[in-house]
Amino acid sequence: MNKRQIPLIFGFLFICNFIHATDIKINSLNELAKYAAESGNTIIMAPGVYQMEDYLTADVVRNTKPDEIRRYAMIKFSGNNNIFDFTGVTIEVNTKLLSVFKSRVSEFYVSGNNVHIKGLTVTDIGNHPTFSGGHSFTVAGDDVRIEKVTLYVSGSSPYGYGDLLGKGDANLATLKKHSGMCIEGLNDTIIDCAIYSKAFGHLFFVQGGRNVLFENCYAEGVIRTTDKMLAETSGLAYDVNFAAVYKNYEGKKIITPGYTKSMNECGFRMYGKGGVKGITTGAVTAINCKAKNTRIGFAFGKVTDDILIKDSEAVGCEVGYYLTGVKVENSRGDMVNGPLLYVTKGEVSDVELALISNDSKTTVHLLAGIAGENHKVTIKKEGDLTKGKVLPIKIGTTSPTANNGFSPLGKAPTSGILLTNLTGMPVELNAVSSSCKIITNGEVTDKGINNEIVKN
């Protein structure tokens, strides 16, 4: 199926499903929760600002049941064949509520099929961390359409240091993540949605989703320099003497000055599987999407089916694009806070990117790192790059631990790469590179074997 046809097909399906739907007007979250569990209706909520705490009483909490993997929902859309029109509606969630279930929690959880949610704004109030993690939105049903939904996310710990205090085992501080929107279903479409996150967690991400389409979506995080972290006189980093879980170039596990970190995780992210049944992730497409100030703009890797990024952009990220087995068309990004691109070993990637800025105020070590076999990568430039930093494209080079900017780069045997470099930036082929073809308008250093250099 042509991914660009998905919105038209979904539109036809929704028209068929809802020809006989009943229009119901509501003006409270209690009514919303009631009809979210029923099927075959069009629900129109009166414009206004609603408070989740007015609905999520002790009785509601006590009677709420988790899903099969112990995730609770504040409001669960379990009904099928429904349309929810939230135009003009904002639901505010006091972040104190993120801990009332004493488990993982989703503010909104769509488990029903053929559900269309449009026009909703969700705003987290305060910064009380989740009890043990969770999402603002979980989309687990099939044939779900989320349209013009905006999430303002907060409520995590630690916050203010990115992943430097840990994000898995051996954390230096207790981890309580709060992510944005998780997609787990089949044929789900996310259109014209935006997430603004002031929490440690992913923004848009796929775990077990198949044939997922993101179109015209925007993910924005927050950046902070390591110098500002080191200037603190209290806080979680201060309490551990500014230790980090990652080694720097000197082999020390400390927060290192001179770098910029995102306070969030990825703007758009894929995992190998997920959901209550641990289903393998399938095809994912992102068209005209943008990530700003996130740890990685687009972290996509092929699991089973085709992965496409088209007409998209990553700016201000620690890494713009981190790819395995992905096709990228007509997309762009910068190297202001970190590399534009890493292409990794594994499935073959075909990448077409434009570098739009090299105006970095803090330390960045390279424009791109490419490792593996038979990737095709074209990097051109847009705009004036004469006043910024000159950084190399490195062939045979892998990303540092967790893509952390102040950690040392790695290397891996690399062959058969076709690189077209139109940025004017230098290219470096290391000793483990071989049989690569480099078409370039920049300087080349070749320490590899049987590489072909063509000056453009």
Q: What is the structure's pLDDT at 51?
A: 98
Q: What is the structure's pLDDT at 21?
A: 56
Q: 171 pairs with which residues across the strands?
A: none
Q: Are residues 376 and 311 in the same domain?
A: no
Q: Are residues 292 and 325 in the same domain?
A: no
Q: Are residues 295 and 411 in the same domain?
A: no
347 vs 190, 300, 324, CA distance in Å?
26, 12, 6
Q: Are residues 371 and 342 in the same domain?
A: yes
Q: Are residues 312 and 422 in the same domain?
A: no
Cβ neighbors of 169 (< 8 A, separation 6 or more) are none
Structure tokens at 192: 């014209």
Q: Are residues 16 and 145 in the same domain?
A: yes
Look up the domain containing 205 and give its range: 1-317
Q: Are residues 206 and 290 in the same domain?
A: yes
Q: Are residues 21 and 152 in the same domain?
A: yes
CATH code of the domain in which 144 resides: 2.160.20
Q: Are residues 330 and 244 in the same domain?
A: no
Q: Are residues 353 and 305 in the same domain?
A: no
Q: Are residues 116 and 205 in the same domain?
A: yes
168 vs 141, 172, 247, 428, CA distance in Å?
28, 10, 16, 33
Q: Are residues 193 and 247 in the same domain?
A: yes
* Count of structural domains, the chain: 2
Closest alpha carbon to 377 in 315, 438, 442, 426: 438
Using CA atoms, how far apart are residues 305 and 320, in angstroms rounded to an integer?
22
Q: What is the structure's pLDDT at 77?
A: 98
The pLDDT profile of the chain, 456 residues, written as one tens digit per residue, is 444 444 444 444 444 444 445 799 999 999 999 999 999 999 999 999 999 999 999 999 999 999 999 999 999 999 999 999 999 999 999 999 999 999 999 999 999 999 999 999 999 999 999 999 999 999 999 999 999 999 999 999 999 999 999 987 789 999 999 999 999 999 999 999 999 999 999 999 999 999 999 999 999 999 999 999 999 999 999 999 999 999 999 999 999 999 999 999 999 999 999 999 999 999 999 999 999 999 999 999 999 999 999 999 999 999 999 999 999 999 999 999 999 999 999 999 999 999 999 999 999 999 999 999 999 999 999 988 988 999 999 999 999 999 999 999 999 999 999 999 999 999 999 999 999 999 999 999 999 999 999 998
Using CA atoms, how far apart are residues 147 and 245, in angstroms rounded to an integer?
38
Q: Which of 293, 317, 341 delimits the end of a domain?
A: 317
Closest alpha carbon to 267 in 363, 350, 151, 101: 151
- The DSSP letter of residue 134 is E
